[in-house]
Amino acid sequence: MTRLLPAAERVAVPWRNGGGVTREIAALPEGAGMEEFDWRVSLAEVAADGPFSAFPGVDRILTLVEGAGMDLTVGGERRLVDSRYAPGELRGDVPTDCRLLDGPVVNLNVMWRRHGGRTSPTVAVVRGRLPLPAGPALLVALDGPAEVAGLTLGPYDAVLSSGEGAVLHAVGRTAVIGLAR
């Protein structure tokens, strides 16, 4: 089973601190709020310096996809995020401050709750032809077209796939997110 999640249908939700907006791509359970999700994938448009929101019991994988990057302070330690398409893990409950390096950025953000012995999601950014692993996956075209199961994806379009023999053909970089069951 494959389900298209077009970028054009996503709603920009402003952050409480006014520093940016988030566009949710998918979550489990579907439609879950910030307190109820098991996992959540979104695109975050960071427009201003400031603290990240705290998410107790939540981990995240953050991937810079647009812009020069961010200079983060995570639990008092500096962490430079200036390489596009390089996923990096952060704990959602560790205080994190952000300073933009040279203007706004867009991040692909994968979040999940640390409970119940679930397997955490995986994130890889790929190009080329790739058979999808068995199990649920979310594919997000990042900087160019991709095709899977007869569907063509433009930038930021996504496909939720059960992975049943599907093959990804990615001309541009595409995030392949293996989802926890």
For residue 135, the model assigns a pLDDT of 84
Name the CATH code of domain 8-113 (choices 2.60.120.10, 3.90.550.10, 3.40.50.300, 2.40.10.220): 2.60.120.10
pLDDT for residue 181 is more than 70: no
Cβ–Cβ < 8 Å for 170, 128: yes
pTM score over 0.85: yes
For residue 43, the model assigns a pLDDT of 98
Which of 67-71, 93-97, 134-138, 139-143 shows the lowest per-residue confidence on average (mean pLDDT)? 134-138
Query: Among residues of the chain, what percentage have pLDDT more than 70?
Result: 97
For residue 79, the model assigns a pLDDT of 96
- As a whole number of angstroms, the distance between CA 139 and CA 115 comes to 24
pLDDT digits (tens, 9 = 90+) for 44-68: 999 999 999 889 999 999 999 999 9
Per-domain residue ranges of the chain: 8-113, 122-178
Cβ–Cβ < 8 Å for 85, 79: no
Task: Pick the closest to residue 57 from 73, 30, 37 (CA basis).
Answer: 37
Q: What is the DSSP string of 3-52?
A: EEE-GGGPPPEE-TTSSEEEEEEEEESTT--TTT-SEEEEEEEE-S-EEP
